Structure 1
Amino acid sequence: MSNPDRHIHPVATGNAAQVVAKHDAPQELVFYAGWFCPYVQRTWIALEERGIPYQYKEVNPYLKEKHFLEINPKGLVPAVEYQGKALYESLVLCEFLEDAYPTNEPKLLPSDPFERAYTRLWVDYINKSIVPAQMRLTQAQDPEKQKAALEEANKALRTFAAEAKGPYFLGDNFSLVDVTIAPWVARDYIVREHRGYTREGVSALWKKYADHLEKRPSLVNTTSERVHYADIYGRYLRDEAQSEAAKAIRAGRVIP
């Protein structure tokens, strides 16, 4: 049986396509990406925020080239090749960019050790509480399970928003916490349209934070046209998606 996910639109569109076009020339850092992937978008936002030169290379998730699999044996995006050496995992890459390009501004991790650790705590919270809850809500089929998943997702977001110092999570400065959650804010219209979620239904604080975050240029400019996400997320809404993340949620495992 053929995999329906093979019909994903092959390239970025809209604002994201314009950014891709500006990053065609060879650079010491090659960014292997999938335009549709929220994890990719995290690293992409970090690259754009910090003005780091990079070459963008789109990876076909079903026809992975031998060289890409040598870079990342998992076969997952995002990945980078830096001075001939390879790294992967979205948040590892974001932190690597902080270290490899120390003079580029703005920094996404605070310099103060306590604030740096505090940032990592909330990044971890997003990964372990918010992202899985939103995915469970998207993939839930039974009305009662959808209701329970909505309550779980709202609670996780409410807890997060209550700690946001505003307008961004740490205050005035956009940070790795905002980078980590931004792709899911950009995609929350999916559960709004299909699962009864609303930002105001979470809390006034969450709505204020999310409404502000979704306007961040680095998020807007790395997001493709909505029409091309519809087919992808339709599979999640039917719980038919075959991504590693979708399989993990379906099996009750930790997202890889």
Structure 2
Amino acid sequence: MPLPDEQIYPHATGAAEALVAKHQEPQPLVFYAGWFCPYVQRAWIALEEKGIPYQYKEVNPYKKEAHFLAINPKGLVPALEYGGHALYESLIICEFFEDAFPAHTPHLLPTDPVQRARARMAIDQISKTLVPTFQRLLPAADPEAQRTAREAAYSALRAFAAGIKGPWYLGEEFSLVDVAIAPWIVRDYIITENRGYKRAEVGAAWEAYAGRLEKRESVVNTSSLREHMAPIYGRYLRDEAQSEAARAIREGRAIP
């Protein structure tokens, strides 16, 4: 069953609430968001890093407005409305920002084609390996299931951490690779408190990298207060979530 509306805090809080307040004026780019969604936070971080003007609009996941569904039949956030067109899927949106706003810097993808390809390889690793291990660890209530899922997460993260050039994934420049993983780093306290996960078990390089990333201004400013996350992630911890990702995990499918 969906979480009752009254248990979902209706808007961003903390630093994220202050940021939302600054982006209420109409703009050519309308950013449809859900404050609690890690995929939304990806696109939001990219917007902030590049300094692109946008209007923020919160979407109630259980009471989606007709206009939003008309431009985006999938009904998923994040989504954009720009120039009469709708776009969705977080990583596609992030690359759109690079293509549509070339004058806005920093660039989040390297200009060198080889390095750009390497960045996309790392992002693919995040999407296909790191995010799924986080998602699978959340509902693992049985101690043995937790241990298995936790070790799988450690293994995936160690493989990723081996590629960190420091201080950011690609080296000196903050990139879309860092954007892609940041929302799960700021949410890893959930599996630390409930599933025995420890950053230090992954290794020193990962622990240092994660610590830097969660303190990045764009990451801090797009993060809401933890207490309002509890009802949402409590459903994942109890294996009651009905999101597309949760259903995919139960059915053994790729996470959409």
- Note if 1:230 corresponds to 2:242: no
Q: Quick one: which amino acid aligns to residue 217 of structure 1?
A: E
Output the CA distance in 2 between the equivalents of 1:19 and 1:140: 35
Where does residue 127 of structure 1 map in the other structure? 127
SS in 1 for 2:162: helix
- 1:71, 1:79 within 8 Å by CA — same for their partners in 2? no
Q: Quick one: which amino acid aligns to residue 77 of structure 1?
A: V
Where does residue 112 of structure 2 map in the other structure? 112
Q: Quick one: which amino acid aligns to residue 67 of structure 1?
A: H
User: What TM-score results when the alignment is normalised by the length of structure 2?
Assistant: 0.98
- 1:130, 1:153 within 8 Å by CA — same for their partners in 2? yes
Output the CA distance in 1 between the equivalents of 2:140 and 2:218: 31
Aligned CA RMSD, in angstroms, stands at 0.8
Output the CA distance in 2 between the equivalents of 1:71 and 1:5: 26
1:57-106 alpha-carbon deviations (Å, 9 max, x no partner):
00000001111112211110000000111100000000000011000010
Which sections of structure 2, spanning at least 5 residues, go unmatched? none
- Note if 1:84 corresponds to 2:68: no
Q: Greater shift after overlay, 66-75 or 88-97?
A: 66-75
Output the CA distance in 1 between the equivalents of 2:4 and 2:240: 9
Output the CA distance in 2 between the equivalents of 1:167 and 1:173: 8
Which sections of structure 1, spanning at least 5 residues, go unmatched? none
Output the CA distance in 1 between the equivalents of 2:133 and 2:4: 22
Runs of 4+, deviation exceeding 4 Å: none
Q: CA deviation at 1:198?
A: 0.5
User: What TM-score results when the alignment is normalised by the length of structure 1?
Assistant: 0.98
Output the CA distance in 1 between the equivalents of 2:16 and 2:4: 21
SS in 2 for 1:4: coil
Q: Quick one: which amino acid aligns to residue 4 of structure 1?
A: L
- 1:10, 1:60 within 8 Å by CA — same for their partners in 2? yes
Q: Quick one: which amino acid aligns to residue 132 of structure 1?
A: P
Q: Greater shift after overlay, 162-171 or 64-73?
A: 64-73
Q: CA deviation at 1:110?
A: 0.4
Where does residue 71 of structure 2 map in the other structure? 71
Identity of aligned residues (%): 65
1:109-166 alpha-carbon deviations (Å, 9 max, x no partner):
0000000110000100000000000110011122111110000001111111111000
Spell out the pairing of 1:2-17 with structure 2 (5 A cutoff).
3-4=2-3, 6=5, 7-17=7-17
Where does residue 26 of structure 1 map in the other structure? 26
Where does residue 96 of structure 1 map in the other structure? 96
Q: Quick one: which amino acid aligns to residue 29 of structure 1?
A: L
Where does residue 210 of structure 1 map in the other structure? 210
Q: CA deviation at 1:3?
A: 2.2
- 1:199, 1:206 within 8 Å by CA — same for their partners in 2? yes
